[in-house]
Structure 1
Amino acid sequence: MSEPHIHETHPDIVKRLRRAEGHLRSVITMIEAQRSCVDIAQQLHAVEKAISNAKRTLIRDHIDHCLEDAIGTEGRALRASMDEFKTIAKYL
């Protein structure tokens, strides 16, 4: 098991996930109350966005900190590859 670590973005990620959790509870309540499918779909979209944003923030944070630390001050080729990886990862 890897060592636990916390980055400065982790509290923000927790907030996003708690928001998603609240939206998800709302969706369940809405379905049980037989609310309109449009309203339910809108709330589900909010859940997806919150989780997606949390995931994106976590991945970017890992790239920016953990992987950057791992390559340290290696040669230009490795640095260029890392920069290219960061650029393409924005499209995840």
Structure 2
Amino acid sequence: MNDTELNHASHPQIVKRLKRAEGHLRGVVDMIESGRPCLEIAQQLHAVEKAIAQAKRTLIHDHLDHCLEGVSGPLDRQQRRSVDEFKEIAKYL
């Protein structure tokens, strides 16, 4: 595989989401260093975690949709349903 095969349509969206999370994380560090209340810090950390988890979920779903199908060929309806079910259950990992 070359670099262009590794880039998917969702990658710019994922990068944008991760950069936003990076900015929020820097903000959390600043909050801790400036002595902000723990509740506020915990709320912001939760937001960072959610943003990263969503980026990971998007990446995994994109991989299943494109890379897996690229190896196996087009999926029939039953196979597609199995992949969709796997994507749904993967959110609990």
Shorter-normalised TM range: 0.7 to 0.9
Q: TM-score, normalised by structure 2?
A: 0.83
- % identity of equivalent residues: 55
* Cα pair distance change 1:73/1:39, threshold 3 Å: closer
Counterparts of 1:23 and 1:85, CA distance in 2: 33
Indicate the residue corresponding to 1:19 in structure 2.
Answer: 20
The alignment partner of 2:8 has SS state of coil
Using the TM superposition, name which of 26-35 and 82-91 deviates more: 82-91
Give how far 1:69 is off.
1.2
Unaligned 5+ runs, structure 2: none
* Cα pair distance change 1:70/1:38, threshold 3 Å: same
Indicate the residue corresponding to 1:64 in structure 2.
Answer: 65
Counterparts of 1:73 and 1:50, CA distance in 2: 31
Indicate the residue corresponding to 1:50 in structure 2.
Answer: 51
Indicate the residue corresponding to 1:34 in structure 2.
Answer: 35
Indicate the residue corresponding to 1:9 in structure 2.
Answer: 10
Which of 78, 81, 86 is the aligned partner of 1:80?
A: 78
